[in-house]
Structure 1
Amino acid sequence: MKRLIVALVMFGVAAGLAVSTAFAQPPDVRLRAGANDKAPVAFEINGGRVYLGLQNVGPILLTCAGDRIYEGASTNGEVLYTVRGNRLYAGPHLRDSAIFTLSDNRIFAGANTHGRILYTITGNRVSLGGKNSGQVVLTGDQDLENSEPAFKLLLPLLVRLSASARIQLYANLQMTDLLYEFEDGRLFIPSLGQAILFFDGVAIFSGGYPTGEKLFTVDGNHVLVGGANGPVAYTIKDNHIFEGTDEGPVLYTISGDRLLRGAGAGGELVLRANRSLETSDVRFLLPVVLNIWR
């Protein structure tokens, strides 16, 4: 479970907002995956502790206290994340760039609001992307929008822990030939039993952890070779994946749960997923993995 939680690292915050830097007290709330408020409880937060499922039934995954999020049931656990202002950092030391940024009830990837909008918090719901009309990934039994900033920065971590975060990618329309799985930022080849890429929302690393070699960096809709100053390898725009900039040839088209070859909706099927690819982070890994491992 520890590796699962640590592998959550992925995304960023807006600069200069005067907000609380700590958990005054996370609200006692029950959260369900998706939009169905009658679905089984995915997480219950009570007394600063995050339970998998209902309190007193599931294990305690996280403890929120002060400006830190700890592994397990108490502050004796490892510090997994630290809140500073409207930013969430991995670990206790703030050595690396922020992974999430909060601004106007939107969660951005990276350390400022120039990153992609990952989630929007509206009322008691968390939705994908920058609009409250996006796919709902978490529903609370009370208001989330007016909760404290530190608590809002916890929500994307819980999205990643929810079972609905897993994406399976198949080579055929019938979805019998499983090629890849994407979960908690990791891209796996099931037949090998190992992760080949890790995406933290900003950078793509080799292997299953952010300690691997940095292969690419995502800047807006561009996938850059190496770091932030690298050349453009791919561009994702209007559900098309271009080679180089958007003036280059269209390699693939994303259509719902399908990845098609070329620019047309009638192109050859390359991959089919168990849910839509149009707003998923896995979009940025698809041209990389297909170029190297297909």
Structure 2
Amino acid sequence: MKHRQQLRRVVTASPYRAGAVSAAVLAVGLTTGILLTQGNGSTPPANASTIAVAEKMGGQAGAEVAPSLVTPSPATPSPSASTSAPVPAAPSSAPPTAAKAVATPTKAVKKAPPASKVLDYDYEAQINGWYCGPAATRIALTARDRQPSQDDVAAALGTTFNGTNSADDVTRGLNSLAKTNFYTSTFIQGSPSPAQMDQLQADVVHAVSSGYAVVANIAGSATDTDGGWHSYDGGHYLTVVGYRDSGRTVQIADPAFVNGVSSYWMTTIDLANWMATRGYSA
């Protein structure tokens, strides 16, 4: 082979060259752990190890071989051969979406009225025989912190010597003087039906529990819960200022002040019958 020829040429050259080659071979042998023995001017044994060393150190033909150590370069791992670790995903810069609270609409619960209630009012008896309407209306207004005179109320109701015409006049006067639109008129054309009695009870509870007194236009006679007899054949106005037993019984402020009686209790049924052919403002 070509390298063997080069080795032979180096060995058989001048003694100086042979000495240099021997030194180089000896250095390589010390490095590789193989000891190469040279005889007196003879060619070193051509074994596989010697040939391998000569091939590694061989260059151009006749070149000097310096006694140096050959250090193999460390292998550089191939990028394609390396195992790439999984790269975690970058955290999102957007804030986490908060769960939307679904507002459940709450239905307002209507508060039940109390089982009984009596309004604060200022009693004043009627100042003449035809002012029962103005006096009863004035009592109702005092429950709303209004203190008009009976004459002022009479002017608002259109009261004459013949009295106050109907519940509609009282309703108009109450709303005007109390600065409200709370009051409406209810009429009982004949004997009250059970439905009209129930309506009266509900109207009294609603009005009084809301802070409004009721003005009733009655005619005839009726008995209160204590057995007292009350008779107004020509018609009369009085004021309902309270109730108890959930409206089954009502308290009446009577402006007539007959026999020194200004207030008494009466069943709602008896009051409804007392108002037959008349009406009330509530």
Normalised TM-score (structure 2): 0.21
Q: Counting strand residues as a fraction of each chain, which structure ranks higher?
A: 1
Normalised TM-score (structure 1): 0.21
Structure having greater relative contact order (Cα 8 Å, sep ≥ 6): 2
Q: Counting helix residues as a fraction of each chain, which structure ranks higher?
A: 2
Q: Radius of gyration: which is bigger?
A: 2
